[in-house]
Amino acid sequence: MHFSRKALTSAATALLFSTATAQQLNITVPSGQVMTHVIQVSDANGTLAFFPSELTANKGDLLQFQFWPKAHSVAQSSFASPCQPLDSAGTTGFWSGFMPVTPQDTTMPVFSVVVNDTKPIWAYCATGKHCQAGMALVVNPPVGKTLAMYQAAAKSVEVTGIPSTVEGGTATNGTAAGPAPSGGLGSGDVAAGGNTTVPAGSSAVMPSTQPSSTGATAGAAGLKVTTGKAMVALVAAFVGFVCVV
């Protein structure tokens, strides 16, 4: 059986780019860098949801909340008390404060939180009745307690709890968004400054399209780009080899 040089080149290119795509879906973060989970807060249509609303994060990972119009927020909560800040249960959680954004803005506010353990982290938007409408999320969901159960319980909450102090994370201006919680850091809290591979709290460019309904987790900054360039170089080298043969 004989294959033309053109056919071999096309097959090699397709195979290598498929491999590159697969590698991008399973990113290994280099030692010393931080896995960053980008969480879109609402979208271009004003959907009352986080994208993604459920995810898994390891100790030391970064949760980066990017806020879409108009004025959303994120407050840490507990499964037992939906739409209420975690400090109402005797433990202080993170609170971004309200993040006003207009459709004309070209950048969006960012609030970054470091995950300190793998315990479940429940959070909600404290704007108006957004929480009651289902705008909540869970990181590291536990067995037997689902986001759907949290959202169902939230519907009956009459008054949304609004934390009194912005804290537990790094806000848009890159400085600590409040002092570290008293009594030490709890699940999902972060001390002043943070340790990230993306500028902690830097404003993000407003995307031209809204996030997908399933959301995604992003790896260390630039890792996908680097992987893609490496694969292109490999493709070029392989194609050159086929042409010589």
Query: 46: domain CATH number?
Result: 2.60.40.420
**Residue 158: which domain range?**
36-172
Asked whether residue 56 is assigned to any structural domain, the reply reads yes
3-state SS, residue 85: coil
Find the largest Cα–Cα distance for the chain.
Answer: 75
Asked whether residue 73 is assigned to any structural domain, the reply reads yes
Asked whether residue 141 is assigned to any structural domain, the reply reads yes
Asked whether residue 7 is assigned to any structural domain, the reply reads no
User: What is the CB-side half-sphere exposure of residue 98 using CA atoms within 13 A?
Assistant: 11
pLDDT digits (tens, 9 = 90+) for 15-38: 333 333 333 334 566 667 889 999
Model pLDDT, residue 33 = 80
Asked whether residue 206 is assigned to any structural domain, the reply reads no
Tokens 């271009």 found at: 44
3-state SS, residue 239: helix
Please state the domain count of the chain: 1
The total number of residues shown for the chain amounts to: 245
CA 23 to CA 47: how far, in whole Å? 31
Model pLDDT, residue 129 = 97
Asked whether residue 48 is assigned to any structural domain, the reply reads yes
CA 64 to CA 177: how far, in whole Å? 14
Share of the chain above pLDDT 70, in %: 56
Asked whether residue 14 is assigned to any structural domain, the reply reads no
Q: pTM, whole model, 2 decimals?
A: 0.64
Asked whether residue 180 is assigned to any structural domain, the reply reads no
pLDDT digits (tens, 9 = 90+) for 43-86: 999 999 999 999 999 999 999 999 999 999 999 999 999 999 99
